[in-house]
Amino acid sequence: MVLAQSELFDHFQTAVDDAGAGLPLSEDIRLYLTWLLVERVRSDRKTYEEDTLAELYGRANRTSSTYAAAVYRELGDRALYVVGFFPESLDRSLVGTTYYIDMGSAAYYRAHQWMSTVFGSTFVDMATKFEDCVVLLETVRGKEDDLEALYDQWVENPSEAAEKRLRRAGLVLPPKRSLD
């Protein structure tokens, strides 16, 4: 079944609204995440030739125009989408979930510096609530029921997003260990 653009938006908007219940995300962030999901399923969308987040970051830093904002935005979007929908792809990677979260959050903050007149505080809010955005996308994807895999992921690479999901599912987690 092929959905028209407006039907696709409606589908993802409902999914995002349902998944976002109880998360401290503004309506603007939820609309942006809906748009992000619609854009990621389109086959005709513009893509960047760089494969890695570091390459995108380098491209954005080499330019000093509004083009940099678009590249930072892509970097944030890509990091968020990968962590939210394909975290298992990072199991085979030299970098982990934390790297993607840090790069995505920083990229949205940099995009905010260039685009605040257009998007207001949306990007800076996404930068500070990046892990909540990840939780929302993971919920849209339907990963809530795979608690054993999530726990194993959290043990190897503790993130607040994974911890929140585990606690919300009713798991009692051991206290965080200090690095002392």
At residue 6, the pLDDT reads 67
* Confidence band of 180 (pLDDT split at 50, 70, 90): very low
Question: 3-state DSSP call for residue 64?
Answer: coil
pLDDT tens digits along 124-144: 999 999 999 999 999 888 854
Domain assignment present for residue 162? The answer is yes
The DSSP 8-state label assigned to residue 51 in this structure reads -
Domain assignment present for residue 98? The answer is yes
Give the relative orientation of helices 147-156 and 160-168 as an angle to the nearest 10 degrees: 150
Domain count, the chain: 1
Q: What is the mean pLDDT of residues 146-162?
A: 76
pLDDT tens digits along 17-42: 988 888 999 999 999 999 999 888 77
Domain assignment present for residue 72? The answer is yes
Annotate 71-136 with DSSP letters as a single string: HHHHHHHHHHHHHHH-GGGGGGSSS-HHHHHHHHHHHHHHHHHHHHHHHTTHHHHHHHTHHHHHHH
Beta-carbon count within 10 A of 12 CB:
20
Domain assignment present for residue 68? The answer is yes
pLDDT tens digits along 62-80: 987 778 898 999 999 999 9
Full domain range(s) for residue 62: 49-166
Q: Is the pTM of this model over 0.85?
A: no
